[in-house]
Amino acid sequence: MARDQGMVAKEVHDVRLARWEGFKRLAKRLPNHHILSVELVRTRQDETAAVFTVVRNLVPVQHVVMGDAYGRVKLAHDGPFKGASGVASGQPEAITLTEGPTTAADPDVIALGQPPAKEPAPPGIVAIGASLLAAAFAVGELVPTDPAL
């Protein structure tokens, strides 16, 4: 059983490598901000993530927007931030990954907060990611709880 899991893990990694190589080839001939893929992921810690692979300066880059189990964007509390209401809150938890398949979207990697090379994601990515996470994972509010309905 463990051997089968190891084989599957290697196959998944090989697919990610091949996919990333394809993204690199595509990015060389596409304009900045062109979207190569959008993935919605649930992590092993019951969190959610919207992962955007886009072209930046002729290379693929991934932006990750993190959410809770219901797709509500998580806030990173990196110090005092006062929103329009004047109430202290955090910034949306969103990062940019620039390294390739070793940092590609993986439920285990995202949940552990890796890789170390991170930068803030653009505001547009955060807004779209928040919408996608809510639409994909906040299904409890959409399902009627009354059995008569």
In a domain, 146, yes or no: no
Model confidence pLDDT, tens digit, residues 67-79: 888 898 887 654 3
Tell me what pLDDT residue 79 has. Answer: 39
CA atoms within 13 A on the CB side of 92: 26
Identify the weakest region by mean pLDDT among 47-56, 99-108, 132-141. Answer: 99-108
In a domain, 70, yes or no: yes
In a domain, 125, yes or no: yes
pLDDT-derived band at 36 (thresholds 50, 70, 90) equals very high
The answer to whether residue 115 scores a pLDDT higher than 80 is no
DSSP, residue by residue, 65-128: EEE-TTSPBPEEEEEEEE-TTS-EEEEE-EEEE-S-TTSS--HHHHHTT--S--EEPPHHHHHH
pLDDT winner (highest mean) among 63-72, 88-97, 110-119 = 63-72
Tell me what pLDDT residue 143 has. Answer: 56
The answer to whether residue 66 scores a pLDDT higher than 60 is yes
User: What is the pTM assigned to this prediction?
Assistant: 0.70
In a domain, 100, yes or no: yes
pLDDT-derived band at 57 (thresholds 50, 70, 90) equals very high
What domain range is 57 assigned to? 2-141
In a domain, 148, yes or no: no
Domain count, the chain: 1
